[in-house]
Amino acid sequence: MQQAYALVTGASSGIGVEIARNLAARGYPIILVARRKERLEELKAALIAAHKVDVVILDHDLAQPGAAQSLYDKVRAQNLPVAILVNNAGVGMAGKFLEMDMARIEKMFALNMTALTHLTQLFGREMVALGHGYILQVASAAAFLPTPYVSAYAATKSYVLAFSEALRFELLGTGVSVTSLYPGITTTEFNEHAEAKTPGAMALSILSAKQVADIAVRAMFKRKRAIVPGIINKLNAFFSAVLHRGLVIFAAGTMMKKANEP
């Protein structure tokens, strides 16, 4: 019987790269998905050299209309069974919402929400039919409350939280689990592309992409509902839930304003 693959989106950098490395080290064949083919080729060569696993690369822009279905069709055409789906691909935007370009916002919505949702449905159906599988959804610590200066981005991650944790309940007893990852600020290219600056008070919470990936994969295989990497990030999530919502938003907004305005 053919060994099932782990499919990782956003696999050209950051957390996606490290999750792929972690899973390959565990012996899983990998399907790498991202736009930057040259990055995927480099990672493929490294994974094969280090772990002797099969690696398939699919350069694919998941922000395009119909992208999830197109990717699924490519995987099916190659007859690659998928037992692990890691929805890591995502993009952020920082700054004043009214000054943002709407076309970029719509692409962010398509990638962070639409593609994630559709891939979850397509591959989730297959996993349920087989009676086994893992889905890892990469959200963000920003999912826990409205966050000024990343307002639209934070809203997309709040969607991932609500959708994924509700779906987890629907899948109880199927052999398929959904684990949601809520990383804080991580040393990846993400902030650079989002043009976001880190508030000084959050500097101590920063983890490496490898730290986050290792924590996430362990939680996924334990079939945990959710994981917030790092003690400081866990405390932030806790206080976001128990303190007055307006107070937390004011505090977060004040820090973000100071960090992102000249």
**Residue positions annotated with a catalytic role:** 153
Backbone torsion region of residue 233, taken as left when φ is above 0, otherwise alpha when ψ lies between -120 and 50, otherwise beta: alpha
- Look at the block and give the residue holding tokens 């990469």: 138
Rounded Cα gap, residues 41 and 160, in angstroms: 29
Buried b (16+ CB within 10 A) or exposed e, 61-76: bbbeeebbeebbeebe
DSSP state of 204: G
111 phi, psi to nearest 5 deg? -75, -50
- HSE-CB for 85 with a 13 A CA cutoff: 31
> CA of 206: how far to CAs of 34, 93, 123, 232, 261, in Å?
24, 19, 32, 9, 21
